Amino acid sequence: MSIVEILTAVAFLVFSDNTTETVDLGVFDDPL
């Protein structure tokens, strides 16, 4: 997997499951 694919997968997991706040990053504080 390339770096872009990994980042895309991580971003998808973070944005698709906002109920479990396992990672609290300022960038992802308000994705939408």
| Angstrom distance (rounded) from CA 3 to CA 5 | 5
Q: In the prediction, which pLDDT does 12 show?
A: 80
Q: In the prediction, which pLDDT does 15 show?
A: 73
Q: In the prediction, which pLDDT does 5 show?
A: 87
CA atoms within 13 A on the CB side of 17: 8
Q: In the prediction, which pLDDT does 27 show?
A: 58
Convert the pLDDT of each residue in 1-32 to its tens digit.
698 888 888 888 777 665 555 555 555 555 55
CA atoms within 13 A on the CB side of 10: 11
